[in-house]
Structure 1
Amino acid sequence: MKNFKRKYIINENNERVAVQLDIKTFEKIERALEDFVLGEKMLKNHPTENLILKDAKAYYKRLKKST
């Protein structure tokens, strides 16, 4: 796995509670997750069920809006 430059946010007990990433890194991770989810959905799709291009584009746009 690629090492990402990250900053940790700590609480008053000096425990890590969050990670801060630059936007470019976040967008790379987001694209990778979208690709993974789309791939999983394609694998689970029944071979006789076909999605026309227009419906596929509409579905993909809904995925982007939900994130």
Structure 2
Amino acid sequence: MLDIPKQYVFDEQHRPLAVQIPIAIYNQIEEILENFGLSKLMQEVEDDELLSGDDAYSYYQSLKLQNVES
């Protein structure tokens, strides 16, 4: 498990408001969440129809043309 050093921020009534963590740890957490989201998305589309490289390129080109025309 990731050891996260943290500092708590309190208001005048000593109620916790926020937590500060080092930016390096934040970047690690962000990368972990992005990778998790990407893996879930990959699992969801696992059974979808796959395009060949040429078909994917043609489809991409058609999308670019649609965006230029609109």
Q: What is residue 68 of structure 2 aligned with on the other side?
A: none
- The normalised TM-score by structure 1 is 0.66
- Determine if the alignment matches structure 1 residue 44 to structure 2 residue 44: yes
- How far the C-alpha of 1:14 sits from its partner, in A, is 0.6
Q: CA-to-partner distance for each residue in 1:17-48, whole Å, 9 max, x for gaps?
A: 11111110000000000000001111111513
Structure 2 gap segments, 5+ residues each: 61-70
- Aligned pair count reads 55
- The normalised TM-score by structure 2 is 0.63
Matched residue type, 1:37: G
Rate the CA distance shift 1:46–1:9 in 2: closer, same or farther, 3 A.
same
How big is the alpha-carbon RMSD for the aligned residues of Structure 1 and Structure 2? Answer: 2.5
> Which entry has the higher C-alpha Rg, 1 or 2?
2
Q: 1:1-67, aligned counterparts within 5 Å?
A: 1-50=1-50
Question: Counterparts of 2:14 and 2:27 in 1: how far apart (Å)?
Answer: 28
Provide the identity percentage.
Answer: 29
Matched residue type, 1:43: Q
